[in-house]
Amino acid sequence: MNEPVTLKALERAMHNDELVLFYQPKVCLLSGDVIGAEALVRWAHGEASVLSPDEFLPMVESNGLLHDLTLQLLDQLVDAIVGLRDCTPVKAETPIDSLPPVNLEAHSGLSLSINVAPNDLASRSISNHIAALLQAGTIQAAELQIEITESAVMSNVDRVYDDLVRIKDMGVKILMDDFGTGYSSLDRLSQLPFDALKLDQGMVKRMGTSLQNLDVVRSAISMARELGMTSVAEGIESESVYNFLIAHGCEEGQGYFLGRPMSLTDFRTFVTSAHDFEGSQIGRVHQACLNLLRFRKTLVDAAFCSRVGEGVALQSVAEPGLQSEVARTRLGVWYFGIGQRLNAHPVFNEIEAPLRQVHASGLKFLEELERNQTVAVLDQQLAEIDQQVNRLIVLLHTLERAILASKPGRSPGR
């Protein structure tokens, strides 16, 4: 029989480390690879029952115990991070051996996120704890992420701002959780130190119910992108939602379709097993086209900024990854990664040369800008880039049609 949830039982559970973290896998939608997990607390209560946070966190919070719990869970998370280091994620299978790392800003392994509340930040002890862990080299900044809900931040901006900035300055990513439920203005959002927006699962689940709801998700993804933040979707429960999110450029996702929250042991097995989260390749090809257009726009923006002397650093307008090797750009991650599964289509292989060319030309263009080249030189370079971009778009459209033509048609009456 289960004990009732009383304060006494809760205190004893905390003392006996019965509150444990479960791990829900996060997947990179660009590559289909497992890139980490969100840690979610569970209470192994009684003999056969596991309580979810909604059933006991309110009591933890109202009795002023949340802060102690967060510190306890952070220690558990750190042990998990260290323990998972030897566990190499099985990447989506492709014919290429030397794949680029899964994340756009790559680090060696998995990244685990923990949920925190405003009080955790306002007291500074979490950020002090993280600073000490990083300083001692126990964990790397890229291995840890912090999640805080939009509504909690928005009603406590003054109390949490300094600590958020402090944590971000340490290189630890900060995710705005349940985005879409807290009424943040665009202006506010752009001033807060978030690296990612986690689209609320209600928003994700509702998107199949009307065109309007679909547009809401689409705009949230573009908003994240325009603000230079990663978009992460929660609550992906079906393949069709997964495919929609890929086709609209959402970068990361989690949900029952990809994996439920699970024990650390099960997560370890999950990471080291093969999964097929390929999803819609058509959606990825469509994104590749849009990325090319954005890439061109980036160059034009950079030229415009330097012409008007606004003092905007080129870095800040350049597409993330543009300045690194071609395989790390958004297009490259797709082409040299999971896109390779399309290499049975002859047109796919025609993409590589112009892709390398357009990337090299873009880099050269930025260099020339920094050297203050004349308008005539820049114009000539941009004309060349336009030709390359147009050629690539034609190839990508041909590939799209080839994929469509190779799909078995839906049989009549189904």
Q: Which of 41, 104, 174, 245 binds ligand C2E (CB under 6 A)?
A: 41
* Footprint of Mg ion on 70-129 (CB under 5 A): 115
Residue 171 to residue 37: CA distance in whole angstroms = 18
- Among ligand C2E, Mg ion, none, what does residue 261 contact (CB within 5–8 Å per kind)? ligand C2E
Report DSSP letters for 21-73, one per residue: EEEEEEEETTT--EEEEEEEEEEEETTTEEE-HHHHHHHHHHTT-HHHHHHHH
Phi, psi of 118 (to 5 degrees): -55, -40
**Residue 252 binds Mg ion, judged by CB under 5 A:** no
| Shortest CB 259 distance to ligand C2E, Å | 9
Comparing CB distances to ligand C2E, the nearer of 192 and 342 is 192
Residue 370 to residue 354: CA distance in whole angstroms = 24
Q: Which of 49, 52, 210, 316 binds ligand C2E (CB under 6 A)?
A: 52
Comparing CB distances to ligand C2E, the nearer of 237 and 368 is 237
**Residue 279 binds ligand C2E, judged by CB under 6 A:** no
Q: Which of 7, 171, 256, 307 binds ligand C2E (CB under 6 A)?
A: 256
Q: Are 307 and 313 in contact (CB under 8 A)?
A: no
- Among ligand C2E, Mg ion, none, what does residue 158 contact (CB within 5–8 Å per kind)? none
Determine the residue with CB nearest ligand C2E.
255
Closest CA to 403 of 233, 267, 285: 285
- Provide the mask over 159-198, with x wherever binding to ligand C2E is found by CB under 6 A and - wherever it is not: ------------------xx--------------------
In which residue are the tokens 């949490």 written? 160
**Residue 144 binds ligand C2E, judged by CB under 6 A:** no
**Residue 73 binds ligand C2E, judged by CB under 6 A:** yes
Structure tokens at 399: 């590939």
Residue 334 to residue 127: CA distance in whole angstroms = 36
Active-site annotation, residues: 234
